[in-house]
Structure 1
Amino acid sequence: MFVAVVLIVDFVRRYPYWSAALVLVVVASAVAVVSARAKQRARQRAEQAERDRAVAVTDGMTGSEFEQWFARLLEASGFRHVQVRGGSRDRGADVTAIAPDGRRVVVQCKRQSLTNRVGSAAIQRFAGTCREVHGGELCVIVTNGFFTAGDGVRLARQLGIVLVDRRVLETWAWTGTPPSSLRGR
């Protein structure tokens, strides 16, 4: 190591202009590599964002992929501290976040086939854990499908649970603007 330093110092003394040129080439190369990587990451993020705008992409996802997709949508919509918590022990909190207005958001994600609707039982289970277990101020059930009409939807309204179905989700994903019930007080 010491020998290398001595050789470099000697080279710089003998050839100061060549040394400066070599330093410029090395710095320019490093800047070019960093710039190319940054552009590639930005391009990948833009491509992912474009794919995420089409809610139909969720139809082929697994439940955990849908949770990740929805977490990206929350982040893109200005929600902070977005965390995917899904799994067998999540107690109904697949995603948590802080809304732009500071409220704690707890989300249950239901990735369904278009023929399978989210029913009253799922809404009731989530109602039992969102606020008491997870401290949710905004409780949200989101699905790439639809909710069954009837008691579950009425119960959700009564308990202040926001239901986001495919139509609302598609508008949100396309515009980047969450439904008014999630935007603020």
Structure 2
Amino acid sequence: MAARRRSRRLKKRTRRRLQGWGAVVTVAAGVWVAGHWSVVWPVLVAVLAAAVVGGAGWALLRAHRRAVGQDREWREQEETRARELSMAEVDALSWQEFEAYVADLCRRDGCTSVVVSGGSGDLGADVVGYLADGRKLVVQCKKYAPHRSVSSQDMQKFVGTARLEHGADVAVFVTTCRAFTKAALGLAVRQDIVALHRDLLGSWVRGAHLETLIPLSGRGAGTSRHPSA
């Protein structure tokens, strides 16, 4: 108990001494400022001005970033809306018309010797042609409802025939649905299959060149979650 009381008294004395020294320093600073006011006030004004300018600049920067973010979000929404309007016409096609339409997109982008070979016994090669640089292109087309997803089984069938049966240099799996299952997309990545889901197809329909879409395989899907296989 005695030790505690001594400790408390020591703390009080230390606190009083610190307060006393703080008062002395404050008074001394006040006296010095009063005696050197002609030197101090320009510095204070400069510091205040810098603080005001810095605060205003920070506020403008934040407002700019917010405006840029809102503009980007608006553009993405408009782009998605435009893709869906374009895809509405594609959704109205039959599966045979869809294959013919994909062939037309390939021709538009400079592919040559493009033929539609879809039907029974096509072994996954619905559209066959050659890219402008001479590489053989083999396309599997799946006309699915937007809410569906391409399964691992669908992808396995195409993987098994695209190169072994058809000698594809570039193998593309294009679909009108929004996503590939996680297993299907993983298989596509491992086997170098270009996966074009609804969003990428929508960009293709609206004028994006096929060769610019190839590196985007499977990215930017309309749904953030891929179903499990």
TM-score normalized by structure 1? 0.67
Match runs of 1:38-117 below 5 Å? 54-117=86-149
- Runs of 4+ in structure 1 over 6 Å off: none
SS across alignment from 1:175: coil
Deviation sequence 1:45-77 (CA, Å, 0-9, x none): xxxxxxxx9222121221111000110111111
Q: Flag structure 1 segments of 5+ consecutive residues without an equivalent.
A: 1-52
- Structure 2 CA distance, aligned partners of 1:150 and 1:117? 10
1:181 and 1:170, CA in 2 relative to 1: closer, same or farther beyond 3 A? closer
Write the mapping of 1:5-16 to structure 2, written as runs, cut at 5 A: none
Structure 2 letter corresponding to 1:98: Y
Larger Rg: 2
1:122 aligns with 2:150: no
- Alpha-carbon offset, residue 176 of structure 1: 4.1
Distance 1:179 1:57 in 2: 23
| Distance in 2 (alpha carbons) for counterparts of 1:128 and 1:171 | 28
The answer to whether structure 1 residue 177 and structure 2 residue 202 are counterparts is no
Tell me which of the two structures has the higher relative contact order, counting C-alpha pairs closer than 8 angstroms and 6 or more residues apart.
1
Question: What is the Cα-based RMSD across aligned positions, in Å?
Answer: 1.7
Q: Deviations over 1:129-156 (max 9, x none)?
A: 0000011110110011123331110110
User: If each structure's helix is expressed as a fraction of its own residues, which one has the higher value?
Assistant: 2
Q: Distance in 1 between matches of 2:165 and 2:154?
A: 16
Q: Structure 2: how far apart are the matches of 1:139 and 1:169?
A: 15
Aligned counterpart, 1:48: none
Tell me which amino acid in the other structure corresponds to 2:129: A
- Quick check: 2:151–2:180 contact (8 Å CA) kept in 1? yes
Amino acid at match of 1:87: G
Alpha-carbon contact 1:106-1:134 (below 8 Å) kept = yes
Equivalenced residues, count: 131
Give the alignment's TM-score, normalised by structure 2.
0.54
Gaps of 5+ in 2: 1-84, 216-229
Given that residues 99 and 182 in structure 1 are in contact (C-alpha distance below 8 angstroms), is that contact kept between their aligned partners in structure 2? no
Distance (whole Å) between structure 2 residues aligned to residue 139 and residue 83 of structure 1: 15
| Aligned residue number for residue 168 of structure 1 | 200
Residue 24 of structure 1 aligns with which residue? Answer: none
Contact 2:115 2:128 in 1 (8 A): yes
SS of match in other structure, 1:141: strand
